[in-house]
Structure 1
Amino acid sequence: MTTLTLSPVDLAATQDQPRRSLVRDIQIVMTRELKPVLRDPFSLLFGMIQPLVFLVLFGPLLSGSMRGAFGDGVWQWFVPSILVMTTLFGTSTTGANLLFEFQTGAHERMLVTPLSRSSLLIGRALKEMVPLFGQAVIVIAVMTPFAFDLHLGGAVVGMALLAVFGIGLGAFSYALAIAVRKQDWMFWVVQQTFLFPVMILSGMLLPLETGPGWMKVAAKFDPLSYVVDAERALFSGDVLTTAVLWGWVAAIVTAALGLTVGIRSMLRSAG
């Protein structure tokens, strides 16, 4: 019978191997995903086109036609909506990057690494939040001279809430990409089919108070509506309110469900 012995050098190398942790794995994945963004900073500016178009064209329409509907001013009501919209569009399309990795084989190479499956999802979703944070800073800086009051504490909490919500959306997006990886065109069909009803029912663009009763009922089942209400309260400086509490509940539940579905989908794809 043979016995395996480790030399002092091998034993030291084994002991020196870093212990895996979720935070470290997330950092590795996030750093990897951010490198293309850092090499192409113009993508951040390109991503500003859509929110700026809504601010320039849609905001004045709200201000002129529904002036009395906004207690703290139209921009205090609409700017948080634009930040939520930017997060919604950015994180819900992250699965498209995974579809590209399926084509190149990069996803399979990531699966054989010792990185935890949850870190692959969280790291990629947080990577999407980095340019979104940059875009949020630009939007706030642009709108501050136009009667938009910045409450820094509420804004910081609001961006943290969006990060949690974005993790859930990103995980759902990756799960969708895995499910339709053999018919990648289905990703955009499903994403667009769910995106716009969820966005409209959230009251993001127009207040729902004057809408039909069935729409108000449907909005209560839309988690995004609670996030939108929370962001408006936070950016108005109201941190300790019921709206903020329900916003955190919606964000945390979305993140928990998204990670559960996303991790299970990733494990099945690796099998």
Structure 2
Amino acid sequence: MTEFQQPVLKSSFLRESMVVFNRQLRMNLRNPAWVLIGVMQPILYLVLFGPLLEPLITQLGGNAYNWFVPGMLVQLGVFGAMFAGFSLIGEWREGVIEAERVTPASRGALLFGRLYRDLLQILVQAIILVILGLIMGMDFKPLGILVGIAITVLIGGAGAAASNAFALLVKSEDVMAPVTNMLLMPILLLSGIFLPMNFGAQWLETLADIIPTKHIVDAVRASFFGDLGFADIGWGVGWTVVLFGLAVWWGISTFRKENA
């Protein structure tokens, strides 16, 4: 009898998703290095690249780390989450997905149980990154930081849901890895994570405006500077919610197709 075939059978969506979450969390806690490995790249960028950019960003006005840390947060959320599907491919290969499919649990619970784990991972890593930023001299704006972290976690959830959906479609790391890298590279370069896009050519800035993550980076950055008006973060929050909704819809649809 599986975990789902106990009294959990008649439980709510939340109970079903928590069963999946608890299993995923136990798997990750067997190797606690998963948090440190995931946050290491943004921390290295912050420690090594931040001081290099500090004189340049300071000339633009404001605290350089209030500008740089938000970009690292979005990088952490998007890049970390987009690789979440690789573990799902491993579970599919080991027959875990097939075992879950024969249970009465809703397809949405199978996705959200995994999303809870990914969201928790992003939240822990984001807090570590923010604490490091504060140590390095970032201004402490409590409400703005909370809003920025919330946006980061939500866009990370969108990336994780999309990654899981794509993983179930291709079922191959050899296909998923190059496609993911191909998508992430322009996002990294055109979102203004490292440098303001107005430093580049006009056509490059225009192209960047088309990419939703550029507006999301701007929103997180504005919140860290304490600018929480709709004009400052509205576009970024809007795109975050839209992308999260679309990614979750795609993820649930893919799990349902797998059940067909």
TM over 0.5: yes
- Is the contact between residue 115 and residue 161 of structure 2 (CA under 8 Å) also seen in structure 1? yes
Residue 104 of structure 1, CA deviation: 0.2
RMSD: 1.9
- 1:158 is matched with 148
Shift of 1:44: 1.6
Query: Is 2:71 the partner of 1:81?
Result: yes
* Deviation string, structure 1 residues 152-191 (Cα, Å, up to 9, x no partner): 222222222222222221111112111211x430100100
Matched, 1:127 2:108: no
Distance in 1 (CA, whole Å) between partners of 2:160 and 2:144 is: 24
Shift of 1:208: 0.2
The TM-score, its normalising length taken from structure 2, stands at 0.90
Q: Give the SS at the match of 1:188.
A: helix
- 1:251 is displaced (CA, Å) by 0.9
Kept in 1: contact 2:187–2:213 (CA 8 A): yes
Deviations 1:186-217 (A, max 9, x none): 10010000011012111111110121222222
- The gaps in structure 1 that reach 5 residues or longer are 1-15
1:29/1:123 contact within 8 Å kept:
yes
Greater helix content = 2
By how many angstroms is 1:19 displaced?
Answer: 4.3
Cα distance, 1:243 vs structure 2: 2.9
Distance (whole Å) between structure 2 residues aligned to residue 194 and residue 226 of structure 1 = 17
Q: CA deviation at 1:81?
A: 0.9
Contact 1:126–1:163 (CA under 8 A) maintained in structure 2 = no
| Bigger Rg, which one | 1
Deviations 1:201-244 (A, max 9, x none): 11111110121222222222211111111111112222233232
Deviations 1:108-146 (A, max 9, x none): 111222222122222212311212222222222222132
Aligned equivalents of 1:17, 1:176: Cα separation in 2: 29
Number of aligned residue pairs: 254
- Report sequence identity in percent: 33
Cα distance, 1:90 vs structure 2: 1.4
Looking at structure 2, the residues matched to 120 and 236 of structure 1 have their Cα atoms a distance apart, in angstroms, of 38
Q: What TM-score do the two structures reach when normalised by structure 1?
A: 0.87
CA distance in 2, matches of 1:62, 1:103: 44
1:222 match: 211
